Amino acid sequence: MLKRLFSLVLMSAAVSAFAQTDSTSSLNLPTTLNEDQSRDRFLISFHWDGWMGAPDSLKVKGLSSGLGIHSLYDIPLGSDKVSFAIGAGFSWSNYYNNALFAYDSTTTYIDPLTDEDTIGYDKNKFVISYFEVPVEFRFRTKENNSGNRFKVAVGFKGGYMLSNHTKFVGEDYLTGSSDQIKYKQYRIKNVSTLQYGPTLRVGYGKVNIQAYYGLAGIFEDGKGPSGTPLTVGVSFNPF
């Protein structure tokens, strides 16, 4: 399913680029606008994943990193310096942490792997993938002599969870032995299906610094560990 959805995003990027050229011509804007890299029609982002407000016993490592791929349609608002954009895409968040997830009748809770535990591990992460719809208001400066612009985009995005899983690499905690295992657990219960929140992107030419703050908890309120997502990273416009 993810492969099909990813293919749809790539197709929409191509359609967006074609439609963008056609609409620009109909607006009688300069032809150089068609090749303007500041339009950010297709973005690939690499970001740090933060878990804000996490329980004290849940330690999320600073090297938690994720990926985003989005296609956006840029609509000029009267000039080439201001526009509105809407699009679609996918993101993957990776939370490297020190805990295992367990359940009671209604709640997902964490079982921390503390220093006192005899279980050794090399990797323990929680992965969530989303289908996302971002919207942005974009502001750009005039092109400089090198053909680039400074730009700011203020927006909002909503996301629908497609999948989630944990991945553990280390000693076998299921049997208590020292045997090395790789274990994945899918469909962690009570993860929030919807995510949404404000976005900010500041860039120059093909490169941007961006941030997103989630207004919904990573887990459903009262049914799992507390905390909301925060991502900060770098995005690129390859074409």
How far does the chain reach from its first CA to its final CA, in angstroms? 26
pLDDT of 138 higher than 90: yes
Tokens of 194: 């919807």
Mean pLDDT of all residues in 74-100? 94
Lowest-confidence region among 9-18, 66-75, 83-92, 227-236: 9-18
pLDDT tens-digit map of 164-204 = 999 999 998 888 788 899 999 999 999 999 999 999 999 99
The SS3 assignment for 24 reads helix
pLDDT of residue 174: 81
Q: Which residue has the tokens 């994945």?
A: 184
pLDDT tens-digit map of 141-161 = 999 998 899 999 999 999 999
| pTM (predicted TM-score) | 0.82
pLDDT of residue 76: 93
Spell 34-64 as b/e; 16+ CB within 10 A means b: eebbbbbbbbebebbbbbeebeeebbbeeeb
pLDDT of residue 176: 77
State the pLDDT confidence band at 38, using cuts at 50, 70 and 90: low
**88/86 Cα distance (integer angstroms):** 7
Count CB-CB contacts under 10 A for residue 151: 21
pLDDT of residue 34: 45
State the pLDDT confidence band at 35, using cuts at 50, 70 and 90: low
pLDDT of residue 186: 96
pLDDT of residue 36: 61
pLDDT of residue 26: 45
pLDDT of residue 182: 93
